[in-house]
Structure 1
Amino acid sequence: MDKMNLDRHISSQFNDELESVRSQLMEMGGLVEMQVRDALQAAVNSDSALASKVLTSDVKINNLEMTIDAEVTRIIAKRQPTAGDLRLMLVAMKAIGDLERIGDEAQRIARVALESFSNSQQQDLLGNVDNLGKHVLSVLTDSLDALARMDMEAAVRIHQEDKKIDREYEALLRLLMTYMMEDSRSIPKILNVMWAVRSLERIGDRCQNLLEYIMYMVKGKDMRHTDPDTIEEKLHAKK
C-alpha cells in the first residue's frame, strides 16, 4: 500500500496522513484478528476469562473505526484526492466497516462459549467448530496480510478459500442437525453452537470483501457479486 501511494506526493504532510490511515487500519485488523483467535480458544477450551476479555475488547475496535472514519473524511475534504489516492480512502472506509463486523461476530462466539460452561455436552459440541474456526482464522490472517501489502495475486488466491469454508459450514450444520434429531432435549444447546458456526461463516464472507477491496485498489475494478471462478479473468481483461 505504501509503495503505491506514500512516496509520490510533493507534500510530506499528505504522505504522513496516508501512512497514519494505513497504520491505524492495520492496527484495527490486528486487534480484530486477536479477538477472533481468543473467541475461538475460549469456545473450544471453555475459558470464561478469555471469553470475557473478548467481550470487553470491542471498545478499542469501535474507537479505531470512528477515528479512521473521521481521518479519512478529513483527508477527502482537505486534499480532494483523485485516482489511486481516492481509491485508497474508499477502501479504508469500507474495510473498517467489515473489520468492525468481524469483531461483532467474535463477540457472538464468545457469548456462546460463556453460555456453555455449565454443560459438558455443549462443551463437546463446541469442539466441533475447531477445524472450521482454524480455517476461517487462517483466511482472516492471510487476508489482512494481503491488505497490508495490497497483494492482488494473493487476494485472488485467498478469495477461492471461501468456497471451502462454505462446504465445511454446511457439513457442520448437517452434523448438528443430526444431533438434534437424535435427542430433542439437546436442541437449545445445539442452537447455541449453530450461532457460533454461523458467525464463523460470516467472518469468511467479510474476508471476501476485504480481498475484493484489494482488487479494486490495485485494478480499479469492482469485483463485488462476481462469480469467484471468473474473477481472475475479469481482473486482467482490458476495459
Structure 2
Amino acid sequence: MKTIEEHTFRPYDRELNQLRQTVLEMGRAVERQVEKAVEGVRKGDQALFDEVLQTERSINEEDRRVFEQSVQLIVRNAPAAADLRLVMSSLQISKDLERIGDEAKKIAKSGIRLYQAAPSFTPAIELELITRTTLAMLHASLDAYARLDDSQAQEILADDRTVDAMFKGILRELITYMMEDPRTISHSLELVFVAKSLERVGDHAKNVIEQVVYLVEGRDIRYTPEAKPQPPQ
C-alpha cells in the first residue's frame, strides 16, 4: 500500500480539490446521519429521527453536485491517468455515501415505528459495538481518501468481515427472543432491519476503501481475494 503523488498540472488543481472537498463534506454528513439515527433508536428521540429524514435530501443534493463537478472536469480538462482515477473514484465514492445516507434514513424510520408502537420501548440488544465499528470503518476510509493514502486498506477490509459476524450474532440473538416470546416479533424485526442497515454501512465503507486503492495504485481489488480477508483466527 502507498500514497499517491499529488497532482502537479496546475490549471485544474482547484477543480480537483473542490471535487474532493465536496465528497469529504458529504462523508462527514453521512457519518453524522448514522450517529443520529442510531442514537435516536437508543433514546427514542423523535427530534433526531426528524433531523435524519430532513437532512437526507441535502445528501442527495451533494451527490448531484459531485456528479456535475465530475462531468465538468472531464469535459473541460480531459483528465488522464491519476487525475482521471480521482474523478472516477470520487463519483463511485459519492454513490456509496448516498447509499449510506439511505441506510441512515431506514434506521430512523425503523426507530419511528418502534417507538410509535411502544413509547416505552427499550432495545433488547446492544447496537453500540456494531455502530462504533462501522463508523470507524467509514471514518478511516474517508481519511484515506482525504490523504490519498491506502495504507490502512487491509485493516478496513478485515473490519468488514468483523461487522458481518456481528450482524449474524445480533440476528441469532433476536431470533432467540422471538422464539421465546412471540410478542417481541414486531420489535425484534425492526431491530433486525437496524442491524442490517449498519452492516450495509460497513459494506459501503469497504467499497470506499476499495476505490481509494484503485485511485492510489490503479488496481481494482473489488473481486480479488485481497478484498475478502479471512476472519481473525
Deviation of 1:128 after TM superposition, in Å, equals 2.2
Is the alpha carbon distance of 1:3 and 1:139 closer, same or farther for their aligned partners in structure 2, counting shifts above 3 Å? Answer: closer
> What is aligned with 2:16?
18
Worse-superposed segment, 99-108 or 135-144: 135-144
Deviation of 1:92 after TM superposition, in Å, equals 0.6
2:65 to 54, 64, 67: 67
- Take 1:94 and 1:113, find their aligned partners in 2: how far apart are those partners? 29
Provide structure 1 residue ranges, at least 5 long, that are not aligned to the other structure: 232-239
Aligned pairs (5 A) from 1:62-101: 62-101=60-99
After superposition, give the CA deviation of every residue in 1:53-81 in whole Å (9 maximum; x if it has no partner). Answer: 00110111111110110110111111111
Percent identical residues: 33
- Take 2:17 and 2:27, find their aligned partners in 1: how far apart are those partners? 15
Is the alpha carbon distance of 1:205 and 1:65 closer, same or farther for their aligned partners in structure 2, counting shifts above 3 Å? Answer: same
> What is aligned with 1:35?
33
Deviation of 1:4 after TM superposition, in Å, equals 3.1
- Take 1:94 and 1:63, find their aligned partners in 2: how far apart are those partners? 15
After superposition, give the CA deviation of every residue in 1:11-42 in whole Å (9 maximum; x if it has no partner). Answer: 2xx01111110111111111111111111111
- Take 1:229 and 1:94, find their aligned partners in 2: how far apart are those partners? 17
Aligned pairs (5 A) from 1:147-226: 147-226=145-224
> What is aligned with 1:52?
50
> What is aligned with 1:115?
113
- Take 1:149 and 1:229, find their aligned partners in 2: how far apart are those partners? 21
Provide structure 2 residue ranges, at least 5 long, that are not aligned to the other structure: none
Higher RCO structure, 1 or 2 (CA under 8 Å, sep 6+): 2
- Take 1:230 and 1:31, find their aligned partners in 2: how far apart are those partners? 28
Say if 1:156 and 1:211, in contact at 8 Å, map to a contact too.
no
Deviation of 1:229 after TM superposition, in Å, equals 6.9
- Take 2:227 and 2:56, find their aligned partners in 1: how far apart are those partners? 35
Is the alpha carbon distance of 1:106 and 1:190 closer, same or farther for their aligned partners in structure 2, counting shifts above 3 Å? Answer: same
- Take 2:126 and 2:54, find their aligned partners in 1: how far apart are those partners? 26
Q: CA RMSD in A?
A: 1.8
> What is aligned with 1:235?
none
Give the structure with the higher percent helix.
1
> What is aligned with 2:9?
9
- Take 1:196 and 1:93, find their aligned partners in 2: how far apart are those partners? 27
> What is aligned with 1:103?
101
- TM-score calculated relative to the size of structure 2: 0.91
- Take 2:6 and 2:20, find their aligned partners in 1: how far apart are those partners? 11
Size of the aligned set, in residue pairs, is: 226
Deviation of 1:3 after TM superposition, in Å, equals 7.2
